Structure 1
Amino acid sequence: MRNLILSALFATVSLFGVTAHAEDFEAGKQYVELKSPVPVSKPGQIEVVELFWYGCPHCYQFESTINPWIKQLPEDVNFLRIPALFGGAWNVHGQLFITLQSMQVEQKVHEAVFDAIHKQGKKLATAEEMADFLAAEGVDRGEFLKTFNSFGVKSQMEKAKKLAMAYQISGVPVMIVNGKYRFDIGSAGGPEKALQVADYLIAKERAAQ
């Protein structure tokens, strides 16, 4: 019963949200509507994707804004992070992120990895360097190296590359809502505005269901 009441409440808020923000956010201005929608990973939920790179200073700065927002997302929203793989260090760090996800330790050390690169000046450019750093954070060194070079991780990297192409991204951080809408901090008007755009598009998708 509680879930039904919450669902009804979210739906009501969504309808008012779309009306209230309709004049503020427009396709072609704050966000782009993709010509070919990309299938979501969990049908039935509203998907929000952030594409990022550990080496990106803007992504690092966005963390303090987006993380509290992620924690308060309702149950019908599925949030995903996907590494952007544009070659070189992007791919190496993307492989790091996917490895941490595969080991189910990404949430535990995600912030520490960002801090290591942007506060401590670590490159984390090789698997060995990553393994040494992560061992100090409580991640099994041998298991990390084994997983880093696994077929499963490489398969996920190929999937991430295909998704980035389908989303037609050219930089990070960028967000995608429900495989239909793309926007970034610049187009939205700043980090806080980007999350307002995300809220608006989530409400728009919820109201359309």
Structure 2
Amino acid sequence: MVKTDRSRRDFVLAAGAAATLAAFAPLSALAAPAVRGRDYQPIDPPQPTESGGKIEVIEFFSYGCPHCNDFHKPLDAWVAKLPADVAFKRVPAAWNGAWANLAKLYYALEVTGDVARLDGAIFAAIHEQGVRMPIPDVMQEWVEKQGVDGRKFADAYKSFGVASKINRANQMVQSYRIGGVPALAVEGRYLVSTEGVKSLGEVLTRADAVIAQARSDKARK
């Protein structure tokens, strides 16, 4: 897990985990009970959610984070198989200037409708191809090469709407007390723990248990 500029928390990744998790299906409906301190830490105070009656899961991430790069493929496979009562969203962290530009990239591509198509390619460009994506001119050239409307992207990147989303993301990172990424939060109440994990699968198994906990909480209300 990558923290702020000050430090980096160990986020242990098992060899071959990404391939193993390609077929990983969430078992949140059948997961063992979540254990506070092992599977999650409570978010205090709880945060409001925006997913209606569904259980909201948020990934806090950055394209610049190497562990987010390792995590995104198995996470995508997991998200694709989430139950219908779970809503997934992403919030980019912007702890420094480079990551702030990458957060703007994410939201600008949301505006142009290209973020889902280019999500994996952005990780690959940064972490495998060495593209200096946080530099605005490099970013602009790269997205145009991927078939994005350059003018539409540039306008979105500089827009008040994207700036507002960045401000909201920063507020959420602070309110959720996110100290490192990748991080998964469930229903505004639980932060999935990555302490002591030995594989990516264990993180997602813990997330399943926490989702089951949130579902049980909803049923009792």
TM category, shorter:
0.7 to 0.9
More helix per residue: 1
Which whole-Å deviations, capped at 9, do the CAs of 1:65-105 have from their partners, x for residues lacking one? 11110111122111011101112211111111111112221
The alignment's C-alpha RMSD in Å is 1.5
Q: Which residue of 1 aligns with 2:151?
A: 142
Which whole-Å deviations, capped at 9, do the CAs of 1:99-125 have from their partners, x for residues lacking one? 111222110101111110011001112
- Quick one: structure 1 residues 184 and 131, their matched pair in 2 at CA, closer, same or farther if it must change by over 3 Å? farther
Q: Is the 8 A contact 1:173 1:185 kept in 2?
A: no
Q: Which residue of 2 aligns with 1:168?
A: 177
Q: Identify unmatched segments of 5+ residues in structure 2.
A: 1-27
**Percent of aligned positions that are identical:** 33
Matches of 1:121 and 1:56, distance apart in 2: 13
Select 1:130's aligned residue among 119, 136, 139.
Answer: 139
How far off is 1:127 after superposition?
2.3
Q: Identify unmatched segments of 5+ residues in structure 1.
A: 1-12
Q: Is the 8 A contact 2:38 2:193 kept in 1?
A: no
- Quick one: structure 1 residues 177 and 39, their matched pair in 2 at CA, closer, same or farther if it must change by over 3 Å? same
Q: Which residue of 2 aligns with 1:54?
A: 63
Alignment-mate amino acid for residue 147 of structure 1? A
- The answer on 1:203 being equivalent to 2:200 is no
Alignment-mate amino acid for residue 166 of structure 2? M
Q: Bigger radius of gyration, 1 or 2? A: 1
Matches of 2:166 and 2:59, distance apart in 1: 15
Matches of 1:30 and 1:203, distance apart in 2: 12
Which whole-Å deviations, capped at 9, do the CAs of 1:25-67 have from their partners, x for residues lacking one? 4212231011211111112110111111111111000112111
Q: Is the 8 A contact 1:30 1:189 kept in 2?
A: no
TM-score, scaled relative to structure 2: 0.82
- Matched residues, number: 191
